[in-house]
Amino acid sequence: VIIVMKVNASQEHLSRVLTEVEQTGCTSHTRQGKFRTVVGIIGEATEIDQNHLTSLDGVEEVVRIMKPFKFAAREFQAEDTVVNVGSGRVPVVKIGGRHLACIAGPCVVESEPMLYAIASHVRANGASILGGSFRPQVRLQDWEARAVESLKWLRNCGDELGMPICSDVSDTRQVEYIERYVDLLQVSPDNMQNFALLREIGKTRKPVLLSRGPGATVQELLMSADYVLLGGNRDIILCDGGIKTFEDSVRYSMDITSLPVITAWSHLPIIVNPCYSAGKGDWVPGLALAGVAAGAHGLIVEVHPCAEESVYDGPQAVTPHVFARLMCQVRDLAPILNKRLA
Amino acid sequence: VIIVMKVNASQEHLSRVLTEVEQTGCTSHTRQGKFRTVVGIIGEATEIDQNHLTSLDGVEEVVRIMKPFKFAAREFQAEDTVVNVGSGRVPVVKIGGRHLACIAGPCVVESEPMLYAIASHVRANGASILGGSFRPQVRLQDWEARAVESLKWLRNCGDELGMPICSDVSDTRQVEYIERYVDLLQVSPDNMQNFALLREIGKTRKPVLLSRGPGATVQELLMSADYVLLGGNRDIILCDGGIKTFEDSVRYSMDITSLPVITAWSHLPIIVNPCYSAGKGDWVPGLALAGVAAGAHGLIVEVHPCAEESVYDGPQAVTPHVFARLMCQVRDLAPILNKRLA
Amino acid sequence: VIIVMKVNASQEHLSRVLTEVEQTGCTSHTRQGKFRTVVGIIGEATEIDQNHLTSLDGVEEVVRIMKPFKFAAREFQAEDTVVNVGSGRVPVVKIGGRHLACIAGPCVVESEPMLYAIASHVRANGASILGGSFRPQVRLQDWEARAVESLKWLRNCGDELGMPICSDVSDTRQVEYIERYVDLLQVSPDNMQNFALLREIGKTRKPVLLSRGPGATVQELLMSADYVLLGGNRDIILCDGGIKTFEDSVRYSMDITSLPVITAWSHLPIIVNPCYSAGKGDWVPGLALAGVAAGAHGLIVEVHPCAEESVYDGPQAVTPHVFARLMCQVRDLAPILNKRLA
Amino acid sequence: VIIVMKVNASQEHLSRVLTEVEQTGCTSHTRQGKFRTVVGIIGEATEIDQNHLTSLDGVEEVVRIMKPFKFAAREFQAEDTVVNVGSGRVPVVKIGGRHLACIAGPCVVESEPMLYAIASHVRANGASILGGSFRPQVRLQDWEARAVESLKWLRNCGDELGMPICSDVSDTRQVEYIERYVDLLQVSPDNMQNFALLREIGKTRKPVLLSRGPGATVQELLMSADYVLLGGNRDIILCDGGIKTFEDSVRYSMDITSLPVITAWSHLPIIVNPCYSAGKGDWVPGLALAGVAAGAHGLIVEVHPCAEESVYDGPQAVTPHVFARLMCQVRDLAPILNKRLA
């Protein structure tokens, strides 16, 4: 941490700052510049209250050199985390390091036959985890009963086809229940900073798919991961579905530039959600390939029901045919990047 | 809702679209343009699944004319909502319409004497509700016990000084408990889209201060308000603490342009949180005045402890002296806007 | 400037960095942290090539403590710049420090009688400079001839009513010509980083109204001001018309939070352009008052032609009636802020 | 164009709107909804003044169905534009459609031997056009003389190695001069909306590399392209170097999501500039591959001088070794996308 004093800061201001720093047990070095005085602090950065220091008289700015996250950082763990998804009746799927995987499924689980049809198709074309987005439609008043039914269908379907399953959890009171059914707990973008939920999930021993909120920075995503890691759950897969920008031609701009950054800053695997970002199926394949090319460890893709009779399929899903072609391209792309598709 | 067909859409594509629209019970009018066909739909817009229509073959775009929120809209209620905060032992404070009010307090409630000192000062200088931000510091492991203690101090202090109190709620399991203590339930920016929490709060009968997330649009804020209104709780005060932009000279850019928009689109009162936005006390007074000048119905301000011995006071708080001067200016400004400070 | 070395940087990496720093004539202090080494540099920051240092092996980050602008900074000139607009046949209008002023006029100068009608109205209601936005409509093929005609009408009208005039300049080849006519040269948002144009304008001796581009940061705006100041022209008025954000309810979000920042960082006056930002006349008055309340030194407002027969008036203009009421409020607001409307 | 009337609009308001529409020669259809009246307009959308209509009493909103650009649109030209760069002494390089190409060179042309060294390296490793960013450093006072010298070195080097050359033009007065030297005229991001410059360039017959400003939308980029096309110059290559967002871990967020959008909306080729976006060489290869995977027709890459003695090389350049490896990956990637690297 570096403290930049104001141009007109007095000696008293400086003394007050130095006293405060000493009380934290850190040591400081003061340098007198031509215009300003700068104080560098050595010690455990987490002991420093940056806000408090900034509020002292005579302080212009407090610059943090260390990142504000800790357990998710490469400095904390140098080697890549590889998360094992699935156990028991379903085979284990690895995500992270050199292991690529694709999570796929319908947008909303409407019926058991429809789920089987899509799941069989995506399984045959290279998806290894059954999932997708299962979030309630706002107007679905009877969603909770439907959610329980859907979970059972998913579990049965996953067991039969040999695919681990992934589903949403959004209320602290449901964590214990849902954890019994699924292999991968998904935290939706809306709940990325629902810290009460993150603390509950930190206590479970199921892997977590932590989605970035479209209004969150990379640092905030990694700070949310820290919350889960602090609870003892180390199996976190990050998921980037784009950020809000001034560009209005798409729903959310996929933050491709952050993929190499996250890979450099953190040991956690990261996958991309091109459907959520694009908001339109036509643009999904290009974004999916781009995500993998930029270093993502996997994809999550929503696939349209095979017959066009669904009520809830969204414009962001891809057709079964497009999915099949995309997965061929991903399979060809992987070795160029020294990776392997599960 | 208006459906724009693709340039090369076939007659079959159009027929499929028209059949779908009919099934919703809405009526449609088709117009053949030089390049494209456009279908206008008349009826209850909420019955239309915009996503589903966009996914049909031959559809270029589905344009929604009605806003995606309903109960929070001016169309639903023409006159301004005026929220009454406080009851029983504390006087009622009105927010909304021509009623301006200021919520103020320390950043973190550290001790009972410190709370009294600040509360007395802000009360004497024009604040009518005791609050501020009481969110846990990340490293405060024993926060829950502290929170309960703080709530009791707040309640006692508010009762003695005759100020309704306001505090955070962030977990569905805590709503019932906290509701008993406070006069105004605050939903923090992090939880604006924690829909499970919003549903719980919709069931309470205490007024709600719903903070906009720094990554949320105005429409999303009003959709979150709809969730609470749907539950039957009509006493919502919106709170804008700024949005994330590419501008990096401040923490969050106060979204002043949205204040006249929100006032035009919704009947709900809106207040501003200049401390949260600025991130630096020096810039708070200008923003506070700007918020009121643009049409806000109130302010929420964090005030530094009077003596400089606090550990947790943030750089975004203002000194007691600055607060007093700001409130004088607000009091002078109100009549120019045909409003009255509580 | 502070150089943060990578965790695994070698002694050779450090030596290379120190040698490079020495060659610039600056002195350096090296501090060995628990994880990293940090090098602080003392000397003329402008001599340091931040990019070059970042590119050296072993360097994690180069943190600049000084701002990247110089002549526009408060450190360079402590007292507020007060710009005098107008000379000769028109009275001088002061902008900056405690002096507020309003620039107003039609969106497009369509005819001499229409110009006179609007100019007389705004003059009578508190505007002291005749201007507004005179940018060509894209489809106006014969704009150049029209521009010359408009300039003459503006000059005559300003002279007759005793108002300095303000108009756009956008091509390096036109600066000399336009400078002869107008009292205040306006650089439009599109041209904020047209450095060839800024260099030409730096050579003139007419005051400049430098508009912020909706995609530019405060630092970039002040760096553009530095370009003009470097050329010797010290009479710069900054103008903020909002920035692009993810919020889509308005055209550009007025960056109100930056007003106190600019006032703190720079000695130059700043005015706001609420019409450009709002994109809709209904929302202009609230934003105009907010801008002044936050510390702006003036306003630029587009006013509709008095009769509704104009072809080019935009939705962002206000009616003559709304303008008159707004200026009454501004006149009442000024003394609360210890300012005075020209 | 669709006009949405206000809920309380009167019959007079509607009549005024219909009269205005008739005067443009367009025809209109009026539909009476439950709450609002909506007017659809059929005819040449370019004849409609959207701003003027929005300003009429009783109008809530004017929704444009057609895009605001014309000549750059797929509707105007269905087949991909393939731009031929180079002629005379250098071989022609195709960009667009199935043709991929890489533009590479040093950040700043410092000396003739250094230029030859880099150019030979990039030529041998798959770059076909010699370029990069040659923009003046702010402090380089004698830039103009240097620019002329650099242009001659570039021309000689390109001729000798058989590479077309690309360089910046930023002042209307320089277009004629620079056009004589280079094969591809580059408009920098700063000048994307310098319309005077775009008009001059529209008159030339050399291909143009039009860079997107980091604060510009896709629609604005295509409107700028329209300016050049209007002048008669049809050989435009778009270039995306990222946009400004709230994410601060990188310089500009590469707007990958817009690549499939631009390819769908426009017939013009688009390349990406990963160095400009990333601001750090470490992150360039992943972004370069992602850009190509998402549909870009090429890359522009800055390469470090081979020996580390340069003064001006930026942190965003890649080393010769990294460049060579990247180009191998691009060559392997192209056939997966059914494209071919020049």
- Report the b/e string of A50-88 with b at 16+ CB within 10 A: bbbbbbbebbbbbbebbbebbbbbbeeeeebbebebbee
CB contact under 8 A, C190 and D194: yes
Q: What amino acid is encoded at D230 in this protein?
A: L
Look at residue D47 in the predicted model and tell me its pLDDT. Answer: 57
* Structure confidence by residue, pLDDT tens digits, B79-136: 999 999 998 789 999 999 999 999 999 887 878 898 999 999 999 999 999 996 555 4
The CA-atom distances, in angstroms, between A8 and each of A5, B249, C142 are 8, 21, 56
Look at residue D66 in the predicted model and tell me its pLDDT. Answer: 66
Give me the mean pLDDT over the C331-341 stretch: 96
Which of D1, D49, D51 is the mutation pick for testing C, counting most C CBs within 10 A?
D51
Q: Are C90 and C339 in contact (CB under 8 A)?
A: no
How many angstroms separate the CA atoms of D313 and D304, rounded? Answer: 6
- Below-50 pLDDT ranges, chain A: 136-141, 307
Report chain D residues whose CB lies below 8 A from the CB of B34: 42-43
Helix runs in chain C, H state only: 11-23, 50-54, 112-124, 143-161, 175-181, 195-203, 218-230, 258-265, 274-278, 284-293, 320-336
How many angstroms separate the CA atoms of D47 and A173, rounded? Answer: 58
- Below-70 pLDDT ranges, chain B: 33-35, 42-48, 65-66, 132-145, 306-314
Look at residue B5 in the predicted model and tell me its pLDDT. Answer: 83
Look at residue B216 in the predicted model and tell me its pLDDT. Answer: 97
Residue showing tokens 């309630």 = A136
CB contact under 8 A, A249 and D256: no
Of D51, D170, D190, the CB nearest to C315: D51
Is C257 at the interface with chain D, CB within 8 A? no
Q: Are D300 and D238 in contact (CB under 8 A)?
A: no
Dig out the tokens for D289 from the structure. 């591959």
| Comparison of pLDDT for C329 and D147, the residue scoring more | C329
Of D249, D257, D259, the CB nearest to A258: D249
Which of A257, A266, A326, A332 is the mutation pick for testing D, counting most D CBs within 10 A?
A257
Is C307 at the interface with chain D, CB within 8 A? no
Dig out the tokens for A303 from the structure. 């696939």
Dig out the tokens for D168 from the structure. 């910046």
C-alpha distance from C89 to closest chain D C-alpha (Å): 32
Is C267 at the interface with chain D, CB within 8 A? no
Q: Are B177 and B200 in contact (CB under 8 A)?
A: no
Of B218, B261, B293, the CB nearest to C289: B293
Query: pTM of this prediction?
Result: 0.88
C-alpha distance from D171 to closest chain C C-alpha (Å): 6
Of A29, A63, A215, the CB nearest to C63: A63
Question: Beta strands B59-63 and B2-5: pairing type?
Answer: antiparallel
Q: DSSP character for C6? A: P
How many angstroms separate the CA atoms of B226 and B236, rounded? Answer: 10
How many angstroms separate the CA atoms of B49 and D47, rounded? Answer: 33
Is D313 at the interface with chain A, CB within 8 A? no
Those residues whose C-beta lies under 8 Å from the C-beta of residue A131, and which sit 6 or more positions away, are A103, A104, A105, A165, A166, A167, A184, A186, A300
CB contact under 8 A, B258 and C246: no
Q: Directed axis angle between helix D195-203 and helix D218-230, to 10°?
A: 40
Of B173, B190, B312, the CB nearest to A195: B190
* Structure confidence by residue, pLDDT tens digits, B54-65: 778 888 877 776
How crowded is the C-beta side of A23, counted as CA atoms within 13 Å?
10
Look at residue B136 in the predicted model and tell me its pLDDT. Answer: 47
How many angstroms separate the CA atoms of B44 and D232, rounded? Answer: 49
Look at residue C193 in the predicted model and tell me its pLDDT. Answer: 95
**Which 3 state secondary structure label does DSSP give A339?**
coil
Summary mean pLDDT of chain C: 87
Please give the residue of chain C at the shortest CA–CA distance from A29: C31
Is A40 at the interface with chain C, CB within 8 A? yes
Is A29 at the interface with chain C, CB within 8 A? yes
Quick one: chain A helix, strand, coil %, rounded to 5?
40, 20, 40
* Structure confidence by residue, pLDDT tens digits, C228-279: 998 899 999 999 999 999 998 889 999 999 999 999 999 999 999 999 999 8
Report chain B residues whose CB lies below 8 A from the CB of C294: 286-287, 289-290
Phi, psi of C198 (to 5 degrees): -60, -35
CA dihedral D270, D275, D279, D284 (to 10 degrees): 110
Is C303 at the interface with chain B, CB within 8 A? no
C-alpha distance from C69 to closest chain A C-alpha (Å): 15
ipTM: 0.86
C-alpha distance from C43 to closest chain A C-alpha (Å): 7
Of C7, C65, C245, the CB nearest to A246: C245
Residue showing tokens 């024993």 = B142
Is D325 at the interface with chain A, CB within 8 A? no
Of A7, A40, A42, the CB nearest to C34: A42
Look at residue C32 in the predicted model and tell me its pLDDT. Answer: 74
CB contact under 8 A, B194 and A194: yes
**Which 3 state secondary structure label does DSSP give B159?**
helix
- Below-70 pLDDT ranges, chain D: 33-35, 42-48, 65-66, 132-145, 306-314
* Structure confidence by residue, pLDDT tens digits, D43-79: 655 556 777 787 788 888 777 766 778 899 988 899 9
Report chain A residues whose CB lies below 8 A from the CB of D249: 217-219, 257-258, 261, 265
Look at residue A140 in the predicted model and tell me its pLDDT. Answer: 39
C-alpha distance from B279 to closest chain D C-alpha (Å): 16
Look at residue A67 in the predicted model and tell me its pLDDT. Answer: 75
Which chains does D contact via 3+ CB–CB distances below 8 A? Answer: A, B, C
Residue C313's pLDDT band (boundaries 50, 70, 90)? low
Report chain C residues whose CB lies below 8 A from the CB of B283: 257, 260-261, 264
Which of A4, A31, A249 is the mutation pick for testing C, counting most C CBs within 10 A?
A31
A307 burial (CB, 10 Å; 0-12 / 13-18 / 19+) is exposed
Look at residue D144 in the predicted model and tell me its pLDDT. Answer: 65
Give me the mean pLDDT over the C39-51 stretch: 66
Is B245 at the interface with chain D, CB within 8 A? yes
Report chain D residues whose CB lies below 8 A from the CB of B36: 65
Residue C327's pLDDT band (boundaries 50, 70, 90)? very high
Please give the residue of chain D at the shortest CA–CA distance from C281: D55
Please give the residue of chain A at the shortest CA–CA distance from D334: A333
Report chain C residues whose CB lies below 8 A from the CB of D190: 193-195
Please give the residue of chain B at the shortest CA–CA distance from C279: B257
CB contact under 8 A, A29 and C33: no
CB contact under 8 A, D255 and A253: yes
C-alpha distance from B297 to closest chain C C-alpha (Å): 13
**Nearest CA to B329 among B57, B83, B126?**
B126
Of C194, C314, C316, the CB nearest to D190: C194
| Comparison of pLDDT for C23 and D43, the residue scoring more | C23
Of D34, D40, D61, the CB nearest to B40: D40
Which of D100, D243, D249, D251 is the mutation pick for testing A, counting most A CBs within 10 A?
D249
Is D254 at the interface with chain A, CB within 8 A? yes
C-alpha distance from C89 to closest chain B C-alpha (Å): 36
Percent of chain C with pLDDT over 70: 89
Which chains does C contact via 3+ CB–CB distances below 8 A? Answer: A, B, D
Q: Is the pLDDT of residue C150 over 90?
A: no
Is D46 at the interface with chain B, CB within 8 A? no
Surface of D (62-101) touching C: CB under 8 A: none
